[in-house]
Structure 1
Amino acid sequence: MFLHFLSIIFVLAPSVIVQSLDPTFSDDVLGLIVFKAGLQDPKAKLTSWNEDDDNPCGWAGVKCDPKTNRVTQLVLDGFSLSGHIGRGLLSLQFLQILSLTNNNFNGTINPDLARSGSLQVIDFNQNSLSGSIPDDFFKKCGSLRVVSFASNNLSGQIPDSLGSCLNLAVLNFSSNRLSGKLPSRFWFLRGLQSLDLSNNLLEGQILEGIGNLYDLRAINLAKNRFSGWIPGNIGACLALRLVDFGDNLLTGSLPESMQRLSSCTSICLRGNFLSGDVPQWIGKLNNLQSLDLSANNLTGWITYSLGNLQFLKELNLSRNKFSGGLPESMANCYNLLAIDVSQNMLTGNLPSWIFKNSLQSVSLAGNKLSGSITYSSLTMAASFQGLQVLDLSSNGLSGEIPFNTGALSSLLLLNMSRNKLFGSLPASLGGLKNAQVLDLSDNRLNGIVPSEIGGAVSLKELRLEKNFLSGKIPTQIGNCSSLTSLILFQNNLTGSIPAAIANLSNLQYVDLSLNDLSGSLPKELTNLSRLLSFNISYNRLQGELPVGGFFNTISPSSFSGNPSLCGSVVNRSCTADHPKPIVLNPNSSDSSGSSSTNYKRKNIVLSISALIAIGAAAFIAIGVVAITVLNVHVRSSVSRPDVALTLSSGEDFSCSPTNNPNYGKLVMFSGVADFVAGAQALLNKDCELGHGGFGVVYRTILRDGRSVAIKKLTVSGLIKSQVEFEREVRKLGKIRHYNVVSLEGYYWTPSLPLLIYEYFSKGSLFKHLHDGAGGNCLSWRQRFNIILGIAKGLAHLHQMSILHYNLKSTNVLIDDSGEAKVGDFGLARLLPALHHCILSSKIQNALWYMAPEFACRTVKITEKCDVYGFGILVLEVVSGKKPVEYMEDDVVVLCDMVRGALEDGRVEECVDGRLECDFPADEAIPVIKLGLICASQVPSNRPDMEEVVNILELIRCPYEGQEDLELN
């Protein structure tokens, strides 16, 4: 549209064409009819084109010179035509404007089209043309003023002959697949006023020749692979009003000559590798309305001179390394509508001016801001009635949420998540009638969810997870008919799930896990036809799980931790079954022997029926007492988080029973430990899943049909005492997160410590990356989702003060939905001390994921070590290559290879070749860059995992149709 607008308003000083009437002007009719013959016209736009007419001047889309009746303009924009641009148009000898935009023309570009001496405008924008631009196309182009091939499928290089078009004023080749460097003659187009080559695969440096383009008013080279510095003489283009070099590989600082661009209204340099600070002279660009320097490596304080930009409307400095506070001088930017300084290292309190000016969008997320949000500040903001987006997430803000928050009636998004806010939720939140997203998660909020929340009738996403909210889920939530996401996990909510939720027909994601909800599930939930995820795990729900719709395919992990749920979906009868306490003998074997020995080899199950069979009149009283004790034990096992059971144990499950066996302790954090085949099958060699630095993992099956993974620790000689071991394991057992493997329980003896984890049949990430056949190659969407899942899981562990120490692709498991689950975490906590020698010997298989500081005894091991391993893991997922690959004559270190490719402008070549071109470069390249930053040799240069999660969510493209993430 931008180019089309230019082509209309462009001052084409048309010379008066003086010529005698040519009786052969009917050639125009013939040429257009031949052109029409090769087209498909589904909307019958060309019905007025009649070959019997004397001239075509009355035809749709055709304009003629009134004196000569010769065709001067052919404008068929948006006619829905398809087919080839045929040779019939070559007959239009006096054609000045040819515009065929927004159609479906295909095939290649006819090299003879531009040879007409009168043609001034060629606009083929938004079609399906393919092939390369013919080099001959521009050999006779003296009259051309406007050329656009934007939004097609053109490839190859920009022809050098373009330099012959000395009168060219507007050039648009954007959104194609053009590659290579810009031709050297390109910079001699001194009449060029608008240049758009964005969204291609062009590379090389932007040469100093740009200074020759004195009349240039708009230049857009965004989304290419240009490298090097911004030309130092760009300031010679004094007429420049728009500069967009975003999403390239540019380095260095902002050249001082840019301060001469006083006419410039828009500068975009986002998504590069620019460094240094924002110079003070930026405040001299008095006409600047939009400034975007986001996603670079800029440092220092944000200059106070920004306050001089009184016409500034949009400011984006996000995803840099700015420190200090926002300058108070920006209160003078009276026209500012949107500011984004998220993902930096800004400190101090919230500046008062962000609530005073008529701002519409404010994002300060991912900084280190402190202080509170005051009542008076929101009163000011409410008086302007313009604020639509307020994102203060991931800071250190404290205090209560002001009770007048609902006065911000224009808000569409309110995000205060991941702060230190406390107190109750204000009832005024119901006044946010236009709000679509309300995210107050991961704070310290308490009290109830107010019933007034039902007044926020436009809500699509409500996130209150990871707080201390109590009370019931209000039934008024059913008034939020547009709700697609209801996320309330990890609170202290009680009562039943209100049936009103079943009326929210747009619901896709529901997470009520890790609360204290009870009662049965409303059967009407099966009517939620758009449901994609419904997590109610780790509550006290009971009764039958709904049958039908989404619930027929619900993942077992979505309702685990509710032992009283039953029904066909969970493969558990709804009869009044009670769990049976057990005593297992791990010293038993399968060999035959006497009846007494066989009796010892069996699992001794004490049930009511067994007691009756054994009992006699003399033992009736004892039986009654035993039954009473057992019933009390069963009831308490449902209400308590742990169920402690005893196991008869020796040195190993495979050894023979001894005369004086030791007894171990088995603890399950939820449910009951009832193994199908008894203790002797727990460590069956045939069920071995794998082994690592800390032990061997086996699979076994519980009585309820659920599989679990049992890890036999092989570091028992180094493990702490039983008290310390149990204390550490219970801490690990409390960790519950989508992207973290749950520790279900443990077993202890000094010689045989076992950890019991949830089991995932799809295996490890290593298997999917390196062991699968080419046909089962992970798609880009699956890979991105896995990377984001690992980041979220690792960020949660760090938030719980848990270091992983042993991150690698074999320790990341994949569930049936394609979600990544971080496993094998925190096991180093079980060692008596974090001794470098012990650690290195136990995690030597993760050598190439280990941060360099592991080799230094004097450097403290921190979360940044995990961040390094994550960075290597990101590169492994994107490239499909192992961290180190040994060739016949060489050793290829993945990190070094990717870094070298980035420096050479070949970073896209690092994406797994099995994906071919089926990946979005605007996601893949930033993800690779993020991986390299995380794998920095200097710990302080690595971001926190919480920052990594935020960056990934910003990188993620909003696809219209998300591909299926499930793994076959």
Structure 2
Amino acid sequence: MSRLSHLCLSLLFLSLLHCHFASSSSSVTDLESLLNFKSSADSTGKLNSWNSTTDTCKWTGVSCVGNRVTRLVLENLQLTGSIEQLASLTELRVLSLKRNHLSGSVPDLSKLTALKLLFLSENQFSGEFPASVTSLSRLYRLDLSFNNFSGEIPPSLTHLTHLLTLRLETNSFSGQIPNINLSDLQDFNVSGNKLEGQIPNSLSQFPKSIFSQNPSLCGAPLLLKCSIDPTKPGQPERARAIPSSPTSVHSNNNNKSTTRISTVALVAIILGDVLILSLVSLLLYCCFWRQYATSRKKNSKVLEGEKIVYSSNPYPHNHHQQQQQQQGGGGERGRMVFFEGTRRFELEDLLRASAEMLGKGGFGTAYKAVLDDGNEVAVKRLKDAVTVAGKKEFENQMEVLGRLRHANLVSLKAYYFAREEKLLVYEYMPNGSLFWLLHGNRGPGRTPLDWTTRLKIAAGAARGVAFIHNSCKTLKLTHGDIKSNNVLLDISGNARVSDFGLSIFLPSQITAKSNGYRAPELIDGRKSTQKSDVYSFGVLLLEILTGKCPNLVDTCHSGEAVDLPRWVQSVVREEWTAEVFDLELMRYKDIEEEMVGLLQIAMACTAATADNRPKMSHVVKMIEDIRGGGGSEASPCNDGINSATAESSPCVSEDTCGGITSR
């Protein structure tokens, strides 16, 4: 072997040796830091599992990745003293020391560059705001509330661009609130301090309660007006309350005499106000009456047209209806067909019912109808683009879909078929869609969709799709249009899959509008398969995890083009997996492993090659295994798939499938 080869091997060996010792050295440093902290802070012996003879990563409140401490959660353990020793745990991502008796100033934490969550609330920390915290650029949550901090709040907090939570209440912070312009900030509180001056516009959208108990604060949203002190240019004077009545008499410091309004002037002002209000009211009345008359005329035409469609009376009411009957072919009229277990009603009942449009989708427009007896149903009016070869084909498909009953499906209760109109009647789901829960009302004041609910919805939707796939094995039924708009929530918050089995009636160029969810093999217009359903469901899981819309253009947020599976793969490939997850999920502790588990399932489902994707029954099992699938009962129709509730569903027999050929 040449000298050059020997040299290369030697260098490689030294490099590996250096890496090994560097890793060991870091691990030893973590061990020493924690033991030193225990000896100084644990006077009550709460950390008795911490000793040098056991694995550090198995200690109370300690979590590790690659033998480095990444999470330290020590809450309500009566710990005392300083946290100086913890500042050398350089791989920490989560540090929570809530509800202890820790004191002193917060040490330099600038070495904790991976820190995302920092909770120091309800202790006895003192001193000024810890300046080193503003350098932790990956921080999502910062809670310093209920301590003894003093001094000013630093403007450099604006550098923490990922910050979602900033809790500083019940301290002794003073001075003005800096202009903290953080677009993602959702949880903010500075009440119970000694702050003064005007509240910055960037924070004025938060409720006034988070600024309370700061007597010298002024400006929106507080009902305190900021006055300008001429002796201090640019500085607001001590806040003063806005007068409760516009006619209140103001005192003048230089002139103690009070200016009184004469009786004649007062009467003139009142008469003028009455006259102006009368004119405005008259104009508004005229404007709204014209709109109402136009709307009423338009609605009467719509109702007249719908009455022709909805009417169940075998005798025509007018010439228009008689003409439509003849156009329907052979005088044959449409009829309502109800499925077993559904309370029957007349289409006239739908006409009389109060109606509310729920939305427009790929298959048509959906309405909520409240019948006379209070029963609520959803009516989908299929659009003209829905193409059916014949009445028999439509009825056969409806017969199959109408017999699918499962706790995680929206049941088809009835249908109506005529040449000019096709109506589907479903159960009404009162809690909206997954799309709205994920993307609706983003910004301050929004109630985030928590992780437990997201995981529950994912599992329920998976069971619904798996049930469809396993119901008619001779047909290999598919959903064909899986997306967050088609996952609804019932009154108990359970996921219910809707609009299944309708894609066979739509031309491929119409269904291609859901390209963000569609498997790559369907782009050329081929019909959906169970494997393409799995791909779409994988994209749905990515949507749940990332909070991003999986459309070709992300119309929910950025307006930029987003190929969600490709984007996720690129981020994971760069080993920035944590950056994939929705910022709203960062507030929840101890869920990283579960989120990564669901991410792995989603990536398996969105494999580019169809044969590499798992079956939906396997997907269900994997999702349930994330939290052990606790307490679910097996359904006899699910081929071993666990049901979301104890509600059982009758199996769809092969006879049910016999009337329609596989497509």
Taking structure 1 as the reference length, what is the TM-score of the superposition?
0.33
Larger radius of gyration: 1
Structure with bigger strand share is 1
Task: Name whichever structure is richer in helix by fraction.
Answer: 2
User: What is the TM-score of this pair, normalised by structure 2?
Assistant: 0.47
